[in-house]
Amino acid sequence: MTYQDRSKAEEIGARVEAFIRDVVAGYERDPRLEDHGPSDSLVTELRDKARAAGVMTPHILPDGGHLSQRGTAHVLQKTGLSPLGPVACNTGAPDEGNMYLLGKVASADQHERFLKPLISGEARSAFFMTEPAGEGGAGSDPSMMQTTCVQDGNHWVINGRKTFITGAKGASVGIIMAKSEEGASMFLVDLPDPAVKIDRLLDTIDSSMPGGHAEVSIENLRVPADQMLGNPGEGFRYAQIRLAPARLSHCMRWHGVATRAQEIAIEYACKRQAFGKLLVDHEGVGFMLAENKIDLQQAELMIDWCADALDSGENGNVESSMAKVAVSEALFRVADRCVQVMGGLGVSRDSIVEQLFREVRAFRIYDGPTEVHKWSLAKKIKKAELSKQA
Ligand SMILES: Cc1cc2nc3c(=O)[nH]c(=O)nc-3n(C[C@H](O)[C@H](O)[C@H](O)COP(=O)(O)OP(=O)(O)OC[C@H]3O[C@@H](n4cnc5c(N)ncnc54)[C@H](O)[C@@H]3O)c2cc1C
């Protein structure tokens, strides 16, 4: 990262951190926090405040440029200091990854129509890839995709079922993946649309993302041909363009969340007594906090290493795979230890640590479960060794 880049990221990060701690944290008990995420009215209010504080979409610069991944890491970690921070500052999933993808692949017209309202935080988006497991659809293995798109004159007609679609309820921009004769393709669609029906919202362990996670039926959705994103058959390549930085930005935000959990656990352990001394003075507790500090530091180094790879122009697939596994597993350990340090309070909703733990758990599954990343790395290790032996 250049000196200029670093000082810009640090300046933005400082403003973001102040906003999250002074303003957003005050909303963490807001009654508009529903089981399926913050309500639209809460999101609007938080975003109005972010705009007023000059921290809306802070990783995208006023001239349309994007902070380096290294700079983004600094800023997104700060937005993660509250589970509501990414929603407020418009750095959350799936919008952040969708904006990145549109920035790389969308045409000038698509920029104007679909990307601009996302960057300003007036619109939300959803990414439609996963399909119901019970119906044999795409999950860990995207090649199992069943949703189809067929060209009909100047339109494409899409049919299929999707699940776990974060933010589909309330989104006005959708990116839908479907398979055509040429291979997987991506489409930009306006939402809501009667042909994209939300069948139900899933009751999941996490609760920070607006709109929750939806199961969706797509029936004869007609999409004008100029709303295809890029070229037919390139959908999986575009998914890869989106995935490496999107995985990494999850690492960044959840690192902020785990840092906050650690702060709260430290405060508890340094105030609460048991058996005549502070909890922190019991070796079992002190060690948990020390292990957290080590895990957080290692996770940050993995994030920065992967960010540097992306900033140097590499596709970062291997780095982001490794970072995603290392960071999601480390942050889960951190959050779990924070719960443990805080005893009963750690599992009760009297403390935000309970939610932070739930949020971090789901991260070991989406954007590639840990085992899928390890499996894919193992295949690369084997291939490299066999080609050496040949
Ligand atoms: C909170 C949340 C939000 C999500 N948001 C979105 C979204 O917005 N859009 C979207 O399209 N999808 C979304 N998803 C879906 C997510 O991408 C999938 O859950 C993920 O790809 C795994 O697919 P699956 O759930 O079908 O699990 P499965 O494919 O059924 O896999 C189950 C388990 O099998 C194991 N496994 C699978 N393959 C291998 C292998 N090769 N080696 C070893 N073990 C393996 C892993 O442990 C894995 O966890 C979201 C999921 C969650 C939990």
pLDDT tens digits along 364-380: 999 999 999 999 999 99
Question: pLDDT band for position 5 (50/70/90)?
Answer: confident
Residue from 124, 321, 366, 370 whose mutation best tests the ligand 1 pocket (most atoms within 8 A of CB): 366
What percentage of the chain's residues is helix, strand, coil (to nearest 5)?
Answer: 55, 15, 30
Residue 267: half-sphere exposure toward Cβ, Cα within 13 Å: 10
Structure tokens at 223: 């999409």
Q: What are the start-end ranges of the E strands in 183-331? A: 183-190, 196-201, 213-224, 228-229, 273-274, 277-278
Q: Which amino acid is at 307?
A: A
pLDDT in tens, 114-126: 999 999 999 999 9
What is the pairing mode between strands 196-201 and 228-229? unpaired
Residue in the structure block whose two tokens are 């932070």: 356
- For ligand 1, the distance from its centroid to the CA atom of residue 321, given in whole angstroms, is 14
Residue type, 58: P
CA dihedral for 265, 266, 267, 268, sign (positive or negative): positive
Summarised one tens digit per residue, pLDDT across range 184-242 is 999 999 999 999 999 999 999 999 999 999 999 999 999 999 999 999 999 999 998 89
Going by pLDDT thresholds of 50, 70 and 90, the confidence category of residue 64 is confident
Cα of 383 from ligand 1 centre, angstroms: 25
What is the CA(272)–ligand 1 centre distance, in A?
40
What residue ranges line ligand 1, CB within 6 angstroms? Answer: 94, 127-130, 133, 139-140, 164-166, 204, 206, 213, 362, 365-366, 369, 371-372, 375
Three-state secondary-structure class, residue 133: helix
Strands 125-128 and 173-180: parallel
Ligand 1 atom closest to the Cα of residue 142 is: 21
Contact assessment for residue 363 and residue 325, using Cβ atoms and an 8 Å cutoff: no
Burial of 149: CB neighbours in 10 Å, binned 0-12, 13-18, 19+:
buried
Nearest CA to ligand 1 atom 12: 130
Calculate the CA 219 to chain-centre distance. 28
- Cα separation values, 135 from 160, 161, 176, 201, 361, Å: 11, 9, 18, 18, 25
Distance CA 316, CA 70 (A): 13
